[in-house]
A and B are shown apart, each in its own frame.
Chain A
Amino acid sequence: MEIIAFLMGVSLLVAAFFLYAFIKSVKSGQYEDDYTPSVRMLFEDQQEETNP
């Protein structure tokens, strides 16, 4: 039965990691423009793209 306690801890950790990733992505502004990136990825000559 102890294994369940261990699993609970692991699942919480995994979920916490996703929460952290989500907050990080909001902070970086990923949710502010949800249209342009979908178009940008279709442009072909990307060899010179410099990302800030």
Chain B
Amino acid sequence: MAVYSDAPSAVTAYSCYHCGNQFQYEPIRSMLFKDKDFCCNGCKSVYELLEEKGLCQYYQLNDHQGQSFAEMRADLRFGYLDEPAIANSLLSFQSNERAVVNFHLPQMHCSACIYLLEHFHKLVPGVLVSRVDFPRRQLRLDFDPRQLSVRTIVETLTAIGYEPQLNMAVNEKKASDKESRHMLYRIGIAGFCFGNLMLLGFPEYLADDGLNSPMIERAISILNVLLIIPVVTYVSKDYYVSAWAGLKQRTLNIDVPISLGILALFFQSLYETISAIGPGYYDSLGGLLFFLMLGKYLQRKTFDRLSFEHDYRSFFPLASLRLVDGKEESVNIAQLVPGDHVLVRNEEIIPADAVLVSDKTLMDYSFVTGESHPVEKFRGDILFAGGKVIGGAVEAEVLKPSSQSYLTQLWNDEAFKKAANQHYQNITDRISKVFTPLVLSLAIGGFIFWSFTSFSVAITVLVSVLIIACPCALALSAPFTYSTMMHRFGLQHLYLKNPDVIDRLTRIDTIVLDKTGTLTHTDLQTIDSTRLHMNEEEQEWVKTACRNSTHPLSKLLYQHLSGKGNAKVDLFDEIKGRGISAVINGHAVTIGSRSFVMEGLPQTGSPGLTTVYIAIDQVVRGYVSFTNAWRKGLEEAAAQLSANYRIVILSGDNDSEAPRLRQMFGAQTTMYFNQSPTDKLQRIQQLQSLGHRVLMVGDGLNDAGALKKAEVGMAVAEDSTQFSPASDAILEGARVPFLPALLQYAKSSKIILRNNLFMSLAYNVVGLSFALSGSLSPLVSAIMMPLSTITVVTLAVSQAHYRASKLDKQLVR
């Protein structure tokens, strides 16, 4: 695209009406709506489209900035969707006049997005219904397949800024849905029974002689039994199953005493009812199960919209273009075999390890390594699967099937499979290991002791010990504490896969850090321009050329150079992925990659760095190199972390930053450079075999193995909707320096749980003394059991909130 223009005399900042981006060049104005500025034709077209369909309410709702659109065009990239087999694999329902497709749209971020997407049927005729599930970032579209193809839908969505994530994992239905429904049924049924049992138990407390009506008392007893049956069967089923599974493996888990408590309470009540000696503990039992179910539900509630289980399939495309006798055909990437020639176009992902057949290309490995600068590749070079092509289409010959690529082979690694099956003992399990045998031996001991004097007293003692010692408070305090903490972590942009992760975080002693993309920004860079020699006038020309480019490196160079950047532009041409060639003030200015600026220029910059060469009037003036900037506040964080943990740094890059890292993290830090994904996995394994418990913090697919292998794998993402490899936690990039404070908060869970444990033990001791003295009146136990539950839950939640508010204060700087 060549643009001839006179630069304006002063730099004015404009703000795009559509996407809100700030820009400094001449705004594009619509023919119809002259008062609005747009940063590009894409934004203008979307605005005009929305205006025409009367959907401008979008802009009133849009309080954040909107989606920025590169270009509005028929997208060649989605050509493979014309292949019926591939298009149909996306549909969840299909008939002659109706088809249903679900898309994952990670770009959705505000209510305006919902508005626009739910009015999609107005934009595209043939769409029957569009429904957004915002927490999951999903769009369900019902459309008429006679009028509309999947490809058109995908292209339109992409054009308005919501490019669907199309990948091999898209059709895997969430299995957790069914389970969480059952959880809700259980809460509903437990609540129903609990409420009614409370009501039916009410007359019992009124007077010593009850209602004085044997008929009604019998009716109440029968209703009590009827109402408790679903509670001890359907609602508590999971406890029996888990206790039995534990016993079969010869372990006494927390569910054993809970199950025994439930059953003891049930049979004791049944016995009292049948022999008409008392009212039983039906309401207590109902309440107990209701609260236990609530706790379980909270524990299950996770960050639904985030996916922690990505494997390589959710990253790779659905299909690839195979060249057969010079003709292109779309094939599923699983069908690619070594020797196939594939055509990969701009912005597409290399589907399998391959050898470049075309002359040269630029590869963006940011998803793989976190490194944001594209790398130049030449004919015969190996392109690793997962890299993104920048620039023109390239042809490559497949070396290995997709599933055995350099990166994806990690998923076939033996150690990796074992890691997935690793059973983890959480804090409740650890406590119950001591607690359960204690309670059981106390109950049996009491039973044996009393059976010498009276068998019926012995039975009573056995049952009441089991009832009172039922560790419901213990079973409840952990889920309530952890789920509150998980919520507070979420507010700090640390998202945890499940509450167990908090417990594991408290136990780590070693932190393994990736460098690029984790300790450094992925985008912002610092410039080293010591090898650049230009006078002020020349700087002014280069600055002017940079001003006309939107490329991130041009923007950085623009900020770095002195001058105003207002020289006269005679000719400007930007070649995507290569550089700028312009004529400024009558002088030819070339800025870009080595081979672009001058063919055969010797490599001078260090190979790990991104280097931009500058030539004026065909004379090379030198180069500037860019390095990733360290994250803000990292130094402080590094000092705190290395004071409390053993730090290991694993980097795929060269060791040029080693001295700086050592200065920040201290001399005792272990560092490894030039690490392959498998190396990283093995380093973690090595540390674990030495008895260390490891937290791995990293981004990119090359850390995937290490993230999965470590006790806690924390993926760093610039934005939580962005792709991140399988992990236990997702941390927003800018929050990496907050890691010490966040770990501190996770550690405070130990104190909270200890306090709660003390509380519930106190209850148990008081209760047991009542039980052993033989004066356990139904009134006392009926009041004490729900009361202890509620106290413990309230205490857990309020402590977690209190500590979190301290954390918040610490983090607001």
Cβ B136 vs Cβ A33 within 8 A: yes
Query: What are 24 of the A-B contact pairs (CB < 8 Å)?
Result: A1-B211, A1-B213, A4-B211, A4-B216, A5-B219, A8-B200, A8-B220, A11-B196, A15-B195, A15-B196, A19-B189, A23-B188, A26-B188, A27-B181, A31-B181, A32-B177, A35-B135, A39-B115, A39-B134, A40-B132, A42-B111, A43-B57, A43-B118, A50-B128
| Given A26-B184, A26-B188, A33-B135, 14 extra CB contacts under 8 A | A1-B216, A8-B200, A8-B223, A15-B192, A16-B192, A23-B185, A23-B188, A31-B181, A39-B115, A39-B134, A40-B114, A48-B122, A50-B128, A52-B142
Interface residues in B160-202 (C-beta closer than 8 Å to A): 177, 180-181, 184-185, 188-189, 192, 195-196, 199-200
Whether B129 is near chain A, meaning CB under 8 Å from some CB there, is: yes
Cβ B192 vs Cβ A5 within 8 A: no
| Docked pose: A31 CA to B122 CA in angstroms | 28
Interface digits, B118-149 against A, CB 8 Å rule (1 contact, 0 not)?
10001000001101111110000010000000
On chain A, the residues within 8 Å of B118 by CB distance are 40, 43
Task: Looking at the assembled complex, report how far the CB atom of A18 sits from the nearest CB atom of chain B, in whole angstroms.
Answer: 7
Q: Point out residues on B near A: beta carbons under 8 Å.
A: 54, 57, 111, 114-115, 118, 122, 128-129, 131-136, 142, 177, 180-181, 184-185, 188-189, 192, 195-196, 199-200, 211, 213, 215-216, 219-220, 223
On chain B, the residues within 8 Å of A44 by CB distance are 57
On chain A, the residues within 8 Å of B136 by CB distance are 33
Known A-B contacts A15-B192, A23-B188, A52-B142; the reply to A36 vs B135 at CB < 8 A is yes
Cβ A39 vs Cβ B114 within 8 A: yes
On chain A, the residues within 8 Å of B184 by CB distance are 26, 31
Task: Looking at the assembled complex, report how far the CB atom of A24 sits from the nearest CB atom of chain B, in whole angstroms.
Answer: 10
| Docked pose: A39 CA to B180 CA in angstroms | 24
- Measured CB to CB, the nearest residue on chain B to A50 is B129
On chain A, the residues within 8 Å of B142 by CB distance are 52
On chain B, the residues within 8 Å of A27 by CB distance are 181
On chain B, the residues within 8 Å of A51 by CB distance are 129
Chain A: how many interface residues by the 8 Å CB criterion? Answer: 30
| Docked pose: A45 CA to B122 CA in angstroms | 12
Task: Looking at the assembled complex, report how far the CB atom of A49 sits from the nearest CB atom of chain B, in whole angstroms.
Answer: 9
- Measured CB to CB, the nearest residue on chain A to B111 is A39
Q: Point out residues on A near B: beta carbons under 8 Å.
A: 1, 4-5, 8, 11-12, 15-16, 18-19, 22-23, 26-27, 31-36, 39-40, 42-45, 48, 50-52
| Docked pose: A45 CA to B213 CA in angstroms | 62
Known A-B contacts A15-B192, A26-B184, A32-B177; the reply to A52 vs B129 at CB < 8 A is yes
Cβ A12 vs Cβ B196 within 8 A: yes
Partner of B114, one of A26, A34, A36: A36
On chain A, the residues within 8 Å of B177 by CB distance are 32
| Docked pose: A19 CA to B136 CA in angstroms | 28
Cβ A18 vs Cβ B192 within 8 A: yes
Task: Looking at the assembled complex, report how far the CB atom of A45 sits from the nearest CB atom of chain B, in whole angstroms.
Answer: 8
Cβ B135 vs Cβ A34 within 8 A: yes
* Interface-centre pick from B122, B192, B199 (highest chain A CB count, 10 A): B192
| Docked pose: A16 CA to B512 CA in angstroms | 55
| Docked pose: A1 CA to B651 CA in angstroms | 81
* Interface-centre pick from A16, A35, A50 (highest chain B CB count, 10 A): A35
On chain B, the residues within 8 Å of A22 by CB distance are 188
Known A-B contacts A19-B189, A33-B133, A39-B134; the reply to A12 vs B213 at CB < 8 A is no
| Docked pose: A44 CA to B180 CA in angstroms | 33
On chain A, the residues within 8 Å of B192 by CB distance are 15-16, 18-19
Task: Looking at the assembled complex, report how far the CB atom of A2 sits from the nearest CB atom of chain B, in whole angstroms.
Answer: 8
Task: Looking at the assembled complex, report how far the CB atom of A38 sits from the nearest CB atom of chain B, in whole angstroms.
Answer: 9
Cβ B216 vs Cβ A5 within 8 A: yes
- Measured CB to CB, the nearest residue on chain A to B305 is A35
On chain A, the residues within 8 Å of B115 by CB distance are 39, 43
On chain B, the residues within 8 Å of A15 by CB distance are 192, 195-196
Task: Looking at the assembled complex, report how far the CB atom of B805 sits from the nearest CB atom of chain A, in whole angstroms.
Answer: 25
| Docked pose: A45 CA to B54 CA in angstroms | 10
On chain A, the residues within 8 Å of B132 by CB distance are 36, 40
| Docked pose: A39 CA to B199 CA in angstroms | 38
Cβ A19 vs Cβ B211 within 8 A: no
- Measured CB to CB, the nearest residue on chain B to A16 is B192
